[in-house]
Amino acid sequence: MKRQVVITGMGAVTPLGNDISSTWRSIRKGISGIGTITRFDPSPFPSRMAGEVRGFDPLLFMNAKAARKLDPFIQYALASALMAREDAGLAADPGPAQRTGVLVGSGRGGVTTNENNMTAFLSKGVRAVSPFFAPMTLVNMASGYISLRIGAKGPCLDVSTACATGTHAVGEAFRIIQRGDADVMYAGGSEAALTPLVLAGFCQARALSQRNSDPGRASRPFDRDRDGFVLAEGACVLVLEEQDRAEARGARIYAELAGYGLTSDAFHYTRPDPAGDGSARAMSLALADAETEPAEIDYINAHGTSTIPNDLVETLAIKKVFGEHARNLAVSSTKSVLGHMLGASGAVEAAVTALALSEGIIPPTMNYEHPDPACDLDYVPNEPRQRSLNAVLSNSFGFGGFNATLVLKRFQR
């Protein structure tokens, strides 16, 4: 029999705040974390806005020596994991180290350190490169450093599947607990890819919004006038726990993680399959894994990037899976206020989905002003909605055709 898995802790660093509570509060209120880039001069770029992490102090989570060695993506991941541990009530009583694992992924890894050291190398030579360059840039080092800090000696690995990373990380950690290889997993994603080179690459790919005069309204998933996503950064880590263990220690439980599906489009390295086959199958597989009928789903936290093809294909895929019930579903995209946190997106969206379940509040899709005839579902425009929720989906789809879906259910003792 599959073991049941629940979410007992959350931690986050996002453009909306440096903890999960402030992030969730701003999402409910429709407050945008997107603004003109301040970290470097954005004037040469066609897209000059982003969802920046602001006011983050790594010294709240590590000493100055460690902070100097760690790329921001590792700092954000560690901070999120430590906050999740505290939120889950595991700081004082973590349980057996051999039964605790970590699976925190990243799409880009230590790209900030890569760019800084390349600049130093080109201008000053070999001796200007940091001796910590190699470990600071490894994608697996977020998981590795979290494991080191919290003493987790169970399964420790990472995934890197572009924009689907966070959802794959949570899903694979879910599987690890289900099959009995661990009792507790710290799972999520982290990204600190807001650099000149990464921004230039996405600009050249024409993937980003150019609504520079009004950054807070630039990310507009499913809106007729959407013109691309907004780059963002941050991290989110969830504590997943075997249900009997969580209940035995009296843990607060946000939601049950009930199902997981993953597929590949096998179509194109950046564009989604226009037929929506891969994303539809990911949703169907997740529903089957959760032993849940499509008609039982109340809400979908959509991938909803605010690009023309992605939003269209996701809408089509939802219709394929849910048929007439698609008209009864609430569908929203929190990227409208967070921007696209790349490898961290799926994790923070899983956390938001669990909070929506727990509190009975569906977050809105902000900036939805002009209906697109091809995107014709209920996208919860511009205002949160109170509604009792029992079962929900969270979708993530990444460059390379990676698709991942989670099913979460309201926990009832």
DSSP conformation letters of 217-267: GT--TTBTT---B-BB-EEEEEEEEEHHHHHHTT----EEEEEEEEEE--S
User: In a 3-state reduction of DSSP, which class is residue 393?
Assistant: strand
Quick check: is 268 catalytic?
no
For 361, the token pair is 């509040």
Q: How high is the pLDDT of residue 302?
A: 98
| Distance of alpha carbon 336 from alpha carbon 346, whole angstroms | 14
| Distance of alpha carbon 2 from alpha carbon 21, whole angstroms | 31
Q: How high is the pLDDT of residue 276?
A: 96
CA 368 to chain centre: 21
CATH number of 259-409: 3.40.47.10
Question: Catalytic one among 156, 163, 203, 236?
Answer: 163
Q: Is residue 257 a contact partner of residue 7, using CB atoms and an 8 Å limit?
A: yes
Question: Catalytic one among 168, 203, 303, 375?
Answer: 303
**DSSP string over 276-314:** -HHHHHHHHHHHHHTT--GGG--EEE----S-HHHHHHH
Residue matched to tokens 């075997």:
242
Q: How high is the pLDDT of residue 1?
A: 76
CATH number of 5-248: 3.40.47.10
Taking residue 58's Cβ as centre, other Cβ atoms within 10 Å add up to 19
Question: Catalytic one among 156, 236, 340, 375?
Answer: 340
Residues 6+ apart with CB under 8 A from 41: none
Q: What are the residue ranges of CATH 3.40.47.10 in the chain?
A: 5-248, 259-409
Q: How high is the pLDDT of residue 354?
A: 98
Amino acid, res. 97: A
Return per-residue pLDDT of the chain as tens, 413 residues: 789 999 999 999 999 999 999 999 999 999 999 999 999 999 999 999 999 999 999 999 999 999 999 999 999 999 999 999 999 999 988 999 999 999 999 999 999 999 999 999 999 999 999 999 999 999 999 999 999 999 999 999 999 999 999 999 999 999 999 999 999 999 999 999 999 999 999 999 999 999 999 999 999 999 999 999 999 999 999 999 999 999 999 999 999 999 999 999 999 988 999 999 999 999 999 999 999 999 999 999 999 999 999 999 999 999 999 999 999 999 999 999 999 999 999 999 999 999 999 999 999 999 999 999 999 999 999 999 999 999 999 999 999 999 999 999 999 87
CA angle 164, 340, 119 (to 5 degrees): 95
Q: How high is the pLDDT of residue 255?
A: 98
For 43, the token pair is 């004037």
Q: How high is the pLDDT of residue 413?
A: 76
Q: How high is the pLDDT of residue 40?
A: 97
Quick check: is 163 catalytic?
yes
Q: How high is the pLDDT of residue 277?
A: 97
Quick check: is 340 catalytic?
yes
Helix axes 277-289, 308-322, angle to 10 degrees: 50
Q: Is residue 162 a contact partner of residue 399, using CB atoms and an 8 Å limit?
A: yes
For 99, the token pair is 């039964």
Q: How high is the pLDDT of residue 375?
A: 97
